[in-house]
Amino acid sequence: MFKNTYQSGLLSIFYSCGSNPLAIWDMEVKNGHIKRLTDNEVNSIVLEIVSTNVATTFITCPKRNQVLGIKLPFLVMIVKNLKRYFSFEITIIDDKNMRRRFRISNFQSTTKIKPFCTSMPIGLSGGWNQIQFNLADFTRRAYGTQFIEALRVQVHANARLRRIYFSERLYTEEELPQDYKLYLPLEKKSKKAKKEKKEEQTAKRIPAQPPATEAPVEVVAEPPVESKVSAATIPPVAVGPGEVKEVEMAVHTESVVDITPETVVVEVSSKEGEESILTKVEGEENESTAEQTTEIKPDEDIPVEE
């Protein structure tokens, strides 16, 4: 179909805003619909492919038994994720003259390589996505051969399509033409620009204040706490001859209790995107005051004058 056409830069095979976007496409619809509608997010006309069965509703390019014959190695699709099952297929031919088919879907979890078909998973974020598929790289990695040309593209339900095109390399957003970009609605853009302009004007009116300097904090060092010992006064004791009097002396000790600081252990565990925090306090002890009474006995008899 495009084999005798000069291929360079960008080559589009689908554009939803055209007068007849499915001119070179065939449709198959069962238990679903394929129609054009206005997407509220981009405020533009898009093609919606929806079905209860992914395999029975699709569009395929080109029609009947023709082939595309596109040699550009990159396939780019602008699609909207409807949070339902979605898949698409690309059929290529390699330097061994073998037809290979790549099937990409969001309901598979592993990549399976077979001699004529490779199925692989894809992860789409919410809203509009740009899918960039490197045909030359995947052909080399899956089969060890060289990509020659793309023969067919087939898009199954469920998704909304804006543009499908081939390119000789990946272009940045600034390099792409306006028709190949996905614009936000003008109302949202104007509101965003007005908001940014208002914030800039407010920032200009309010002069920048120097950072507040904090007053120096005086740290008073407390004297170390020492154990205090108080001894009771021993009154004179009169005893008779040949008698020995035991004298008791009470020693009151005020001991300083060492309080172990609280140790906080924070454990963070995540499960399916949620985070939970468990706090454990260890080493908490109560203050206690210990009193000790020591009994002292004299080693020798106290001499008594007559």
Digitized pLDDT (tens) for each residue of the chain, 306 residues in all: 888 788 889 999 999 998 999 999 999 999 999 999 999 999 999 999 999 999 999 999 999 889 999 999 999 999 999 999 999 999 999 999 999 999 999 999 999 999 999 999 999 999 999 999 999 999 999 999 999 999 999 999 999 999 999 999 999 989 999 889 887 655 555 556 667 777 777 776 665 555 555 555 555 555 554 444 444 444 444 444 444 444 444 444 444 444 444 444 444 444 444 444 444 444 444 444 444 444 445 544 555 444
Q: Is 306 within a domain?
A: no
User: Are 65 and 189 within one domain?
Assistant: yes
Is residue 2 situated within a structural domain? no
In whole angstroms, give the CA distance from residue 146 to residue 149.
Answer: 10
Beta bridge partners of 51: 32
**What digits encode the pLDDT tens for the residues 247-277?**
444 444 444 444 444 444 444 444 444 444 4
**What DSSP letter does each residue of 40-57 carry, written as one string?**
TTTTEEEEEEEESSGGGS
Token pair belonging to 145: 């051969």
Shared domain check, 33 and 153: yes
DSSP class of residue 70 equals B
- SS3 of 126-189: the string is CEEEEEEEEHHHHHHHHHCCCEEEEEEEEEECCEEEEEEEEECCCCCCCCCCHHHCCCCCHHHH
Structural domain containing residue 252: 227-234+243-297
CATH number at residue 87: 2.60.120
> Is residue 185, in this structure, part of any structural domain at all?
yes
Distance CA 135, CA 69 (A): 13
182 and 251 in a common domain: no
Dihedral over Cα of 95, 99, 105, 109: its sign: negative
Count the Cβ atoms, other than its own, within 10 Å of residue 219. 6
Q: Does any domain span residue 64?
A: yes
130-133's contacts with Cβ under 8 Å and 24+ in sequence apart are 130/76, 130/77, 130/78, 130/182, 131/75, 131/76, 131/77, 131/78, 131/79, 132/74, 132/75, 132/76, 132/170, 133/74, 133/75, 133/76, 133/77, 133/90, 133/102, 133/104
Task: Tell me, yes or no, whether 152 lies in a domain.
Answer: yes
CB within 8 Å of 219: residues ≥ 6 apart: none
| pLDDT of the residue at 291 | 45
Within this chain, do residues 53 and 137 fall inside the same structural domain, yes or no? yes
- In this prediction, residue 207 carries a pLDDT of 57
Of 140, 138, 145, 5, the C-alpha closest to 74 is 138
The closest of 25, 137, 153, 133 to 92, measured between CA atoms, is 153
Q: How many domains does the chain have?
A: 2
pLDDT at 284: 46
Residues 155 and 83 reside in one and the same domain: yes
What is the amino acid identity at position 237? V
List, for residues 170-226, the tens digit of each pLDDT value. Answer: 999 899 998 898 876 555 555 566 677 777 777 766 655 555 555 555 555 555 544
Q: What angle do CA 168, 153, 132 make, to 5 degrees?
A: 45
Residues 75 and 178 grouped into a single domain: yes
- In this structure, what token pair is assigned to residue 52? 């209860």
Is the whole model's pTM more than 0.85, yes or no?
A: no
Residue 216 within a domain: no
Residue 222 inside a domain? The answer is: no
DSSP state of 221: P
